[in-house]
Amino acid sequence: MIKQLHIPLGSQHAALLEPLRLDFSTENERIVSVRSDMGYVHRGVEHACMNRFDFKKVPFVVARVCGLCAITHSTAAVLATEQIVECMVSERAQWLRMLALEFDRIHSHMLCLAHVAESSGYEALFMHTMMERERVMEAQEILSGNRVQFDYATLGGVTRDMDSQCAQALLAKVGALKSVLSGLRDRFEANWSTQMRFKGVGAITLEEAYRLGTVGPIARAAGVRTDIRIESSHLPYRALGFEPIVALEGDLYARNRLRLEEIAQSIELIERILEGLPEGAHLSKVRGRPKGEAMARIEAPRGELFYYVRGNGGAIFERLRIRTPTYANLKAFEAIFLGQEYSSIPAILASLDPCMSCTAK
Partner 1 sequence: MRRTEITPDRLLGEVRAFYDPTRWRFLTVNATDTGAELLIDWIFVPIGRDEEPVILSSCVAYQAPLPSLAALIPASALGEAEMCDLLGVAFEGAKPGLFLEPDAPRAPLLKTPRERDDD
Partner 2 sequence: MFKALIEALLNLFKKPDTLTPKEAAARAPVSGSRGAIGYSEEACIFCLKCEKACPPAAILFIRDAAGKESYHHNPYLCIYCGECVRACPKPDEALWQEERPVLSSSDPAISKRWFAMEKEAVASKVRYKKAKR
| Residues contacting partner 2: total by CB under 8 A | 20
Interacting residues with partner 1 between 187 and 226 (CB under 8 A): 210-213, 215, 224-226
For residue 186, the Cα-to-chain-centroid distance in whole angstroms is 24
CB of 131 to partner 2, least distance (A): 5
Q: Site map for partner 2, 150-189, x if CB under 8 A?
A: -x--x----xx-----x-----------------------
Q: How far is the CB of 271 from partner 2 (least distance, A)?
A: 21
Interaction of residue 321 with partner 1, rule CB under 8 A: yes
Q: Which does 60 bind (CB under 5 to 8 A by kind): partner 2, partner 1, none?
A: partner 2
Q: Which residues contact 74 (CB under 8 A, 6 or more apart)?
A: 59, 60, 62, 63, 150, 151, 152, 153, 154
The dihedral region occupied by 200, where left means phi > 0, alpha psi between -120 and 50, and beta the remainder, is left
CA distances from 4 to 7, 31, 290, 345 (A): 10, 10, 56, 17
Dihedral of alpha carbons 284, 286, 292, 295, sign: positive
Stretch that binds partner 1, among 53-61, 67-75, 326-334, 342-350 (CB under 8 A): 326-334
Q: Which of 42, 56, 291, 321 binds partner 2 (CB under 8 A)?
A: 56
Strand partners, 62: none
Q: Indicate whether 46 belongs to the interface with partner 1 (CB under 8 A).
A: yes
The residue count for binding partner 1 (CB under 8 A) is 37
Give one DSSP letter per residue of 103-151, joined into a string: HHHHHHHHHHHHHHHHHTT-HHHHHHHHHHHHHHHHHHHHHHS-SS---
The length of the chain is: 361
User: In whole angstroms, how close is the CB of 211 to partner 1 at the nearest point?
Assistant: 5
Cα(56)–Cα(116) distance, integer angstroms: 38
Query: With respect to partner 2, which residue has the nearer C-beta, 147 or 323?
Result: 147
Give residues in contact with partner 1 (CB under 8 A): 39, 42, 44, 46-47, 50, 210-213, 215, 224-227, 230-233, 244, 293-295, 297, 304, 306, 308, 310, 318-319, 321, 323, 327-328, 330-331, 360
